[in-house]
């Protein structure tokens, strides 16, 4: 038997990873990667930082860790992998196990035979089907060509106003990049919130912060692009508003590229991607698929999802690369959809299910809590973290966590992602043994403190109220006793100003007479982060008050305007 012939369609992320792994598994295999674009192995997640000017050397997006550009020569010399760039695979012939390709530069076509085929065709940005979409000045941020276009805008510095359409991850990252490029930004999002992987209250905290850098317009879509002489001059919204701008970046999601797969009858699924098993194998035992063109299992909900994350693409590529050589020995079980993005000086991340997604997935018995604290001590310049934790009330298992703030969000998300991976409960997390030293964390890490608050809530030691719920009550003019229990100087610096009374925790026991006598009165307590708010609630409860609620996350998690 001759050398095994492996063909990989797609040379961006998952494809090259699969090819490289296959090579490491078999020095003698004939491995060929077909890449429609002209570049290979692009660090596409780095585009926003190249555009924003975090670095200026474009080659760094294409380099190996040793600083060598991963071009066809590199792939051949270092990995003995043939790469055909600017070459589109136009058809797959399952019966004869060969693919048909076309060189996009010279139009030449040809065939290549495979023993095993790996489809890594990626995804394409959605385009809104509205007038003017082909005007000059409208782009997405998906390809290196897009990145070059936007970087040129930064370098030239002539464009002053841009509209980013879509408040998801790519939209927000683009927003930061263009802001750094000196462009005034408006973000337009059809949904009532940014970053839909977050629950609404958390998203509102991001929104409040982003508003300090850009205009944010929610619940409004784009009706038309308006132009003069073929160039974009404004974006017209569904409510009629026109926003003058010279640039629009469309970031309303991506669609898996499944055309080739569908043409040969491979199954695609509910989430729109090619269906594969945990070996990354399609219906056809000789065809594997990886990366942004497939759908995978959400390991908590059990539902298929389209999860176009660069890290997962690499992990899937590694699995497919191993399996095409050795048979199905490696597995990629699925995702818990862990993600993070940098939003100016905030980190914003999530892992597992959000509350809304947990409910959609039919998990009814949910408890949530919001915790705000520093990531490390104040004397070590600790920065704020706000976490929303979601657990299954019936068994205490962690379902998901969302973390945001200027603090060390990345570590927090990693901790919760690992907690979910290990199928841990709140009680397990309450005694997690994490690395503590003042340069790195509080003595009780933010994640553990979050678990403690959840324990207290599950044990009915206190009743929480979210900022959203309180806001609703205020709107409905429900009779409430509002109690801020911080110190007077803190109150002078910052306060909600929603009719609250200030009684510092240290005076509360002596000033109980100032609280209405009615033991059924609804009392809301808070402080900066609601630790003292919690202690105040306990004091009130011990004094017979039956309807005391703690404002979760205190002032720090309040996503609305404050008086001060």
Binding to a copy of itself (CB under 8 A) within 389-428 occurs at: 408-411, 413-415, 417-419, 421-424, 428
Q: In the range 454-513, which residues lie near a copy of itself by CB under 8 A?
A: 461, 486-487, 490, 505-507, 509
Q: How many CB atoms lie within 10 A of CB 229?
A: 7
Spatial separation of the C-alpha atoms in residues 563 and 404, rounded to whole Å: 23
7 contacts 32 by C-beta, under 8 angstroms? yes
Question: Three-state DSSP class for 202?
Answer: helix
Q: In whole angstroms, what is the distance from residue 404 CA to residue 426 CA?
A: 20
Q: What residues numbered 255-284 form the site for a copy of itself, per CB under 8 A?
A: none
Q: CB nearer to a copy of itself: give 239 or 427.
A: 427
CB closer to a copy of itself, 245 vs 372: 372
Residue 213 per-residue DSSP state: T
User: Would you say 378 or 499 has its CB closer to a copy of itself?
Assistant: 378
**Nearer Cβ to a copy of itself, position 196 or 441?**
441
Report the residue from 261, 315, 320, 325 that binds a copy of itself according to the rule CB under 8 A. 315
Inter-residue contact 9 to 258 (CB < 8 Å): no
Decide: is 205 part of the binding site for a copy of itself (CB under 8 A): no
Considering only 112, 118, 289, 336, the residue that binds a copy of itself (CB under 8 A) is: 336
Does residue number 378 form part of the binding site for a copy of itself (CB under 8 A)? yes
Q: Using the rule CB under 8 A, which residue among 308, 349, 405, 464 binds a copy of itself?
A: 349
- In the complex with a copy of itself, the residue whose CB is nearer, 237 or 374, is 374
The answer to whether 530 and 558 have CB atoms below 8 angstroms apart is no
Please identify which residue in 149, 208, 356, 440 interacts with a copy of itself, judged by CB under 8 A: 440
Q: How far apart are alpha carbons 432 and 90 in whole angstroms?
A: 53
Nearer to a copy of itself by Cβ, of 254 and 413: the residue is 413
Site of tokens 């020995």: 329
433 near a copy of itself, judged by CB under 8 A: yes
Rg for the chain, CA atoms, rounded: 27
* Piece in contact with a copy of itself (CB under 8 A), picked from 93-101, 383-391, 438-446, 492-500: 438-446
CB of 65 to a copy of itself, least distance (A): 7
Q: Which is nearer to a copy of itself, 125 or 347 (CB)?
A: 347
Decide if residue 340 touches a copy of itself (CB under 8 A). Answer: yes
State which residue, 184 or 535, has the beta carbon closest to a copy of itself: 535
Q: Smallest distance, Å, CB 289 to a copy of itself?
A: 17
Q: 373 pairs with which residues across the strands?
A: 385
State the minimum distance, in angstroms, from the CB of residue 242 to a copy of itself. Answer: 34
- How would you write 25-69 as a 3-class SS string? HCCCCEEEEECCCCCCCCCHHHHHHHHHCCCCCHHHHCECCCCCE
Min dist CB 134 to a copy of itself, Å, is 31
H/E stretch holding 449 reads helix 446-458
Pair of tokens at residue 383: 């920065």
Query: 221, 227, 272, 310: which one contacts a copy of itself (CB under 8 A)?
Result: 310
Cα dist from 233 to 42, 224, 254, 315, whole Å: 32, 11, 25, 43
Residue number with CB closer to a copy of itself (237 or 312): 312
Separation of alpha carbons 106 and 101, rounded Å: 12
Can you give the three-state secondary structure of 412-433, one letter per residue?
HHHHHHHHHHCCCEHHHHHCCC
In this chain, which stretch among 91-99, 133-141, 229-237, 534-542 interacts with a copy of itself, using CB under 8 A? Answer: 534-542
Residue 1, interface with a copy of itself (CB under 8 A)?
no
Quick one: which of 6, 7, 9, 13 contacts a copy of itself (CB under 8 A)? 13
Q: Would you count residue 538 as binding a copy of itself (CB under 8 A)?
A: yes
Helix (H) or strand (E) holding 259: helix 259-263
Work out whether 149 is an interface residue with a copy of itself (CB under 8 A): no
Write the DSSP symbol of residue 268: B
Cβ at position 142, least distance to a copy of itself in Å = 16
Q: Does 377 bind a copy of itself (CB under 8 A)?
A: yes
Least distance (Å) from a copy of itself to the CB of residue 106?
27
Coil/strand/helix, residue 470: helix
Site residues for a copy of itself, 97-136, by CB under 8 A, read none
**Residue holding tokens 């991001």?**
206
Show the binding pattern over residues 39-68: x = contacts a copy of itself (CB under 8 A), - = does not.
----x-xx--xx---xx-x--xx-x-xxxx
Quick check: 322 and 4 in contact, CB under 8 A? no
CA distances to 191, 237, 238, 399, 434 from 219, in Å:
5, 10, 9, 28, 41
Phi-psi region of 167 (alpha: psi -120 to 50; beta: other; left: phi over 0): alpha
Judged by beta carbon, residue 90 or residue 507, the one nearer a copy of itself is: 507
């Amino acid at each position: 038997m001759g050398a095994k012939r492996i063909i990989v369609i797609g040379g961006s992320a998952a494809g090259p990873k699969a090819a490289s792994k296959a090579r490491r598994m078999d020095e003698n295999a004939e491995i060929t990667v077909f890449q429609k674009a002209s570049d290979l192995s692009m660090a596409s997640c780095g585009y926003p930082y190249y555009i924003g000017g975090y670095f200026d050397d474009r080659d760094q997006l294409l380099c190996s860790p040793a600083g060598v550009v991963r071009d066809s020569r590199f792939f051949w010399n270092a990995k003995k992998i043939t790469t055909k760039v600017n070459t589109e695979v136009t058809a797959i012939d399952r019966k004869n196990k060969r693919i048909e390709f076309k060189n996009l530069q010279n139009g030449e076509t040809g065939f290549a035979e495979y023993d095993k085929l790996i489809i890594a065709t990626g995804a394409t940005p959605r385009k809104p089907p509205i007038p003017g979409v082909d005007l000059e000045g409208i782009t997405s941020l998906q390809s290196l060509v897009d990145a070059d276009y936007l970087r040129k805008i930064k370098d030239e510095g002539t464009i002053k106003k841009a509209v980013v359409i879509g408040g998801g991850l790519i939209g927000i990252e683009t927003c930061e990049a263009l802001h750094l490029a000196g462009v005034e930004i408006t973000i337009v999002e059809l949904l009532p919130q940014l970053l839909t992987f977050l629950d609404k209250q958390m998203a509102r905290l991001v929104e409040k912060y982003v508003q300090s850098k850009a205009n944010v317009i929610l619940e409004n879509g784009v009706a038309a692009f308006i132009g003069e002489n073929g160039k974009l001059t404004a974006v017209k919204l569904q409510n009629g508003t026109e926003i003058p701008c010279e640039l629009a970046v469309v970031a309303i999601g991506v669609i898996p590229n499944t055309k080739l797969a569908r043409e040969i009858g491979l199954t695609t699924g509910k989430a729109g991607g090619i269906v594969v098993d945990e070996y990354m194998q399609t219906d056809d035992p000789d065809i594997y698929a990886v990366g942004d063109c497939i759908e995978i299992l959400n390991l908590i909900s059990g539902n298929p999802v389209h999860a176009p994350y660069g890290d997962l693409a690499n992990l899937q590529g590694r699995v497919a690369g191993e399996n095409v050589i050795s048979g199905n020995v490696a597995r990629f079980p699925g995702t818990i959809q862990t993600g993070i993005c940098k939003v100016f000086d905030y980190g914003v991340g999530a892992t597992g299910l959000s509350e809304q997604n947990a409910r959609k997935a039919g998990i009814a018995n949910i408890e949530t809590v919001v915790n705000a604290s520093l990531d490390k001590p104040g004397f070590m310049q600790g920065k704020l973290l706000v976490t929303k934790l979601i657990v299954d009330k019936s068994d205490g298992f962690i379902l998901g966590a969302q973390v945001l703030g200027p603090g060390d969000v990345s570590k927090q998300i990693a901790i919760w992602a690992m907690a979910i991976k290990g199928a841990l409960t709140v009680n397990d997390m309450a005694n997690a043994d994490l690395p503590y030293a003042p340069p790195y964390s509080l003595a009780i890490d933010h994640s553990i403190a979050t678990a403690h608050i959840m324990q207290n809530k599950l044990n009915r030691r206190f009743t929480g109220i979210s900022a959203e719920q309180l806001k609703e009550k205020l709107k409905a003019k429900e009779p409430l006793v509002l109690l801020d229990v911080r110190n007077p100087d803190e109150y002078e610096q910052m306060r909600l100003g929603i009719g609250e009374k200030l009684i510092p925790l240290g005076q509360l026991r002596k000033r109980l007479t100032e609280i209405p006598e009615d033991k059924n009165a609804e009392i809301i307590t808070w402080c900066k982060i609601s630790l003292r708010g919690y202690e105040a609630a306990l004091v009130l409860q011990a004094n017979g008050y039956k309807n005391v609620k703690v404002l979760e996350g205190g002032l720090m998690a309040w996503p609305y305007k404050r008086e001060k």
